[in-house]
Amino acid sequence: MMTPYTEEHLMPETARCCGRIEVICGSMFSGKTEELIRRLKRAKFARQRVLIFKPSIDTRYSSDDVVSHDSNSIASTPVATSEDILRRGLEMDVVGIDEAQFLDDGLPRVCNALANAGVRVIVAGLDMDFRGQPFGPMPALCAIADEVSKVHAICVRCGRLAAFSHRKVDNERQVLIGETAEYEPLCRTCYNKVAARPAPISLFDEGDGKATSSTTPHTQNNDIPRRPDNDGTQKNYL
Ligand code: ZN
């Protein structure tokens, strides 16, 4: 049986210089993968050992390529768990991880271990799911990263910067692999307009005060006092 790696295993004897964690996050169609590929190709030009991983759950385009929306691609290794990345990544100078939101909660520990061992780790992923809630290990990765780049799409309804991935089809599962038929990038204002569903009859049980519905977008909170706008509509003020 293989001994699991720990941070103690990797430091300080095997520590190399220049280990770091970079996170590229944003909504769908924001160019996360393009930016990941750009950084990885530059590392390859510098003759560094580069390996790219992606969760095996994401098979939208190809089972063994990281492929972006503009068909710019780079060979990658599908993995089922974050532990698989640690074992192979330790031999690399640069490790890229795409669609990191689909990987398990062990990913931040794996990225820390790789960076502590001198590996440059570049992680790309969705920061929010279609409800506008933090997605998988991405919030923790942003917290421990040396550098976070938040990239934006363009809102398809008004042309402003978009940070939200609106799901156009009626499906409540958090993970629904999809493309432009299923998702569209929206700014906060447009997202709140289209993602708002009819309010449940009662958001809270009168008895225990616990929420009984999670269908309202995370950006909206019915508990927050509202005041009428000049145009007569109601908006939240945080
Ligand atoms: Zn908009």
How far away, in angstroms, is 191 Cα from ligand 1 center?
A: 7
Q: pLDDT tens, 13-53?
A: 444 567 999 999 999 999 999 999 999 999 999 999 999 99
How far away, in angstroms, is 27 Cα from ligand 1 center?
A: 13
Q: Both 44 and 100 in a single domain?
A: yes
Which of these three, 92, 121, 154, is where a domain ends? 154
The stretch 60-64 carries a mean pLDDT of: 57
Residue 105: per-residue pLDDT: 97
In-domain check, residue 176 = no
How far away, in angstroms, is 68 Cα from ligand 1 center?
A: 23
The stretch 116-138 carries a mean pLDDT of: 96
Which of these three, 154, 188, 219, is where a domain ends? 154
Q: Both 49 and 135 in a single domain?
A: yes
Residue pair 138/25 in contact (Cβ under 8 Å)? The answer is yes
Euclidean distance between CA atoms 18 and 167, whole angstroms? 39
Q: Give 58-121 as a 3 state SS string.
A: CCCCCCCEEECCCCCEEECEEECCHHHHHHHHCCCCEEEECCHHHCCCCHHHHHHHHHHCCCEE
Q: Both 73 and 136 in a single domain?
A: yes
Q: pLDDT tens, 133-150?
A: 999 999 999 999 999 999
The CATH number given to whatever domain includes residue 140 is 3.40.50.300
In-domain check, residue 159 = no
Q: Both 33 and 149 in a single domain?
A: yes
Burial class (CB in 10 A: 0-12, 13-18, 19+), 159: exposed
The residues assigned a catalytic role are 99
Q: Which residue has the higher pLDDT, 154 or 5?
A: 154
Domain range for 21 is 7-154
Residue 6: per-residue pLDDT: 55
Euclidean distance between CA atoms 44 and 161, whole angstroms? 31
The stretch 90-111 carries a mean pLDDT of: 96
How far away, in angstroms, is 192 Cα from ligand 1 center?
A: 9
Q: Both 83 and 146 in a single domain?
A: yes
Residue 175 in this model has a pLDDT that exceeds 60: yes
Instruction: Provide the phi-psi class of 60: left if phi over 0, else alpha when psi is between -120 and 50, else beta.
Output: alpha
How many domains, the chain?
2
Closest of 222, 212, 172 to residue 192, by C-alpha: 222
Q: Both 20 and 128 in a single domain?
A: yes
Residue 167: per-residue pLDDT: 87
Q: Both 225 and 112 in a single domain?
A: no
Residue 204 in this model has a pLDDT that exceeds 50: no
Q: Both 22 and 139 in a single domain?
A: yes
Q: Both 20 and 108 in a single domain?
A: yes
Euclidean distance between CA atoms 123 and 223, whole angstroms? 35
In-domain check, residue 173 = no
Q: pLDDT tens, 75-99?
A: 789 999 999 999 899 999 999 999 9
How far away, in angstroms, is 102 Cα from ligand 1 center?
A: 27
In-domain check, residue 196 = no
In-domain check, residue 167 = no
In-domain check, residue 105 = yes
Highest mean pLDDT among 103-112, 167-176, 206-215: 103-112
Q: What is the pTM of this model?
A: 0.73
Q: Which residue has the higher pLDDT, 200 or 23?
A: 23
Residue 218 in this model has a pLDDT that exceeds 80: no
Euclidean distance between CA atoms 85 and 77, whole angstroms? 9
In-domain check, residue 235 = yes
How far away, in angstroms, is 233 Cα from ligand 1 center?
A: 17
Burial class (CB in 10 A: 0-12, 13-18, 19+), 230: exposed
In-domain check, residue 164 = no
Residue 225 in this model has a pLDDT that exceeds 70: no
Q: Both 144 and 212 in a single domain?
A: no
Which of these three, 154, 171, 186, is where a domain ends? 154
Q: Both 147 and 212 in a single domain?
A: no
Q: Both 26 and 136 in a single domain?
A: yes
